[in-house]
Structure 1
Amino acid sequence: MSVWIRYRVSAAPDQPGLAGFGLLEGQSIAVCTGDMFGDFERTGQLLPLDRVTVDIPCTPGKFIGLWNNYHAQAAKQGLAIPAEPLYFIKASSSYCAHDQAFDVPASYDGRVVYEGELGLVIGKTCRNADLDEAARAIFGVTCVNDVTALDLITRDASFAQWTRAKSFDTFGIFGPVIATGLDLSTLEVRTLVNGRERQNYTCSDMIFSPAQIVSMLSREMTLFTGDVIACGTSLGVLPLKPGTVVEVSIDGIGVLRNTFAPDRSSPNNPSVVQ
């Protein structure tokens, strides 16, 4: 098992900082050069984790999210089991790293919900893959908070606005690392809201397994190195209040923590309830 992390080191708080990546070893980063997904070398430098800002662990060309992929959630909502993965795409401008705040534009005054999920990270180009090829194409996994502007999806009766509802700036939260070598069928996703557990479900309840997801999606679009696929969420999704801290925790990956911090001075500040 390996745990990969990307980071930035800044000389001053208002500077973007120098980017780097490496292997997380305890509370230190073993700095690497080269390509996380290919040839890399350790530099021999160890960088304390508390001296860096954690970045998104990769830069996906595509961030795909599944809907209705857990048996428990489908049963509760009375949804039919889909014959194929049902998915949407989150805009690349929505990406948000661990410990960064997420918010909404002033134009939106509706409910915002968290969705704790397992994220698959593609490690090589994948097209028309069978199940074995698809499984080998999964480089590793990460935590995802698939934030959603819930009221937008059905606002227009003629068109379900999934992409819009999922793609606000900062709504594509994933990280803090990419973990490799885990048994994905044994993983459990926990979501804590201000320290209180709201979601706790096992990935073995998926309707489509990770390999099936990658295989079936690759029949319709080429998947590239660094692409991320969020496997869908299960029970326990609720609206958020401003100032709420959301933590998505998966053993072997870690904890993805972010705060919902909309601009309270906006005249359209969301009036949401929990």
Structure 2
Amino acid sequence: MRIARHVGGGFILGTSQGGWVSTGALGVRATVLADLIEHLPVLAESAASATPDVHNPHLAAPVGRPGKILAVGLNYLQHIAELGRPRPSTPMIFAKYPSAVTGPTDPIELNPSVTAEVDYEAELAVVIGWPARNVDATHAAEHILGYCVGNDVSARDLQRAEPQISRSKSLDTFCPIGPWITTADEVSDPQSLRITTTVNGVTRQDSTTADLLFGVPELVAHLSRTMTLEPGDVILTGTPSGVGSGMTPPTYLNEGDIVRCEIEKLGRIENRVVSPAANR
């Protein structure tokens, strides 16, 4: 099942005919993802045969404002190699603040007074559906609602200048996510998905989640040992090789660039880089 949000209209579900039906039309008026999750079994059955009532929606981020965005650094083997870094012995975790979330086609703001080195990072995003605390890897899948495409946009100059990297990762609009949540039952193996990024139509990243150092079950288990993962929380699992900072010379995003991140079976997000003034 596909779970999405459209601007000003709440949650919508993908139908078997390929269209969209509002959850309100199915008798559920949820304002946050956690409220929707408890109704999923009934909604999934109803949506399968429902008549679409939402057409050409402008999609918002399907997770809204999650309680936590937990991101993983240096988690693709080829990405570690391109940066010449040692392989981490445990997952490198940092926070990306919820106010950075933006929609799958919304602009990425580049403010030259703050940063001159904005980079893209296509990532598999894991959306938690049911509370997870001290779970082991073999039971991690029981707590996952589904998956979507994320872009861990990063200000590399800020990242180098400060000992903590969360600020460099959390500028407004620096977390495009979407286009929808594909529920876990439709993704048989999250570690066998092709993941790509293009900038202005030129391929920059082209890899597979099979290159992950720490897989999805390991990440859920690792994080749940120190904090409760709650419905709607997002785990960004890391980015593959091909980032702008790994190029020779480093090649960063400029105003007007169009960044497309795509993951097999999950869809794609596409965001134009703009100045803050241009977005007002």
Scaled to the shorter chain, the TM-score interval is 0.7 to 0.9
| Of 9, 20, 31, the match for 1:18 | 9
- Alignment match, 1:38: 38
Q: Deviations over 1:93-135 (max 9, x none)?
A: 1110011101034631421001111111111100111012212
- Alignment match, 1:54: 59
- Alignment match, 2:102: 96
Q: CA distance change for structure 1 residues 226 and 24 in 2, over 3 Å: closer, same or farther?
A: farther
What is the aligned residue count? Answer: 252
Separation of aligned partners in 2, 1:236 and 1:70: 11
Separation of aligned partners in 1, 2:196 and 2:55: 24
What 5-or-longer segments of structure 1 have no aligned partner?
9-16, 266-274
Structure 1 window deviating more from structure 2 (28-37 vs 244-253): it is: 28-37
Separation of aligned partners in 1, 2:120 and 2:207: 15
Q: CA distance change for structure 1 residues 152 and 211 in 2, over 3 Å: closer, same or farther?
A: same
Q: Deviations over 1:13-36 (max 9, x none)?
A: xxxx33232225565103222544
Separation of aligned partners in 2, 1:185 and 1:154: 30
Q: Deviations over 1:149-192 (max 9, x none)?
A: 1100122xxx4231110010110111011112212121011101
Q: Which has the higher helix share?
A: 2
- Alignment match, 2:273: 260
Q: How does 1:136-155 map to 2 (within 5 A)?
A: 136-155=142-161
What 5-or-longer segments of structure 2 have no aligned partner?
245-251
Q: CA deviation at 1:38?
A: 2.1
Say if 1:31 and 1:45, in contact at 8 Å, map to a contact too: no
Q: CA distance change for structure 1 residues 264 and 36 in 2, over 3 Å: closer, same or farther?
A: closer
Q: CA deviation at 1:212?
A: 0.1
Q: How does 1:1-274 map to 2 (within 5 A)?
A: 2-8=1-7, 17-23=8-14, 25=16, 27-32=18-23, 33=28, 35-40=35-40, 41=43, 42=46, 44-50=50-56, 52-59=57-64, 60-105=66-111, 107-155=113-161, 159-180=162-183, 181-182=186-187, 183-238=189-244, 239-263=252-276
Q: Which has the higher strand share?
A: 1
Structure 1 window deviating more from structure 2 (134-143 vs 24-33): it is: 24-33
Instruction: Give the residue type in structure 1 aligned to 2:180.
Output: V
Instruction: Give the residue type in structure 2 aligned to 1:262.
Output: S
Say if 2:3 and 2:11, in contact at 8 Å, map to a contact too: no
Q: CA deviation at 1:77?
A: 2.2
Match of 1:73, SS state, is helix
Separation of aligned partners in 1, 2:17 and 2:91: 37
Q: CA distance change for structure 1 residues 68 and 6 in 2, over 3 Å: closer, same or farther?
A: same
Separation of aligned partners in 1, 2:148 and 2:209: 13
Q: CA distance change for structure 1 residues 188 and 245 in 2, over 3 Å: closer, same or farther?
A: same
Say if 2:22 and 2:54, in contact at 8 Å, map to a contact too: no
Say if 2:110 and 2:255, in contact at 8 Å, map to a contact too: no
Separation of aligned partners in 2, 1:26 and 1:65: 35
Separation of aligned partners in 1, 2:63 and 2:71: 16
Match of 1:200, SS state, is strand
State the TM-score, normalizing by the size of structure 1. 0.86
Q: CA distance change for structure 1 residues 53 and 25 in 2, over 3 Å: closer, same or farther?
A: farther
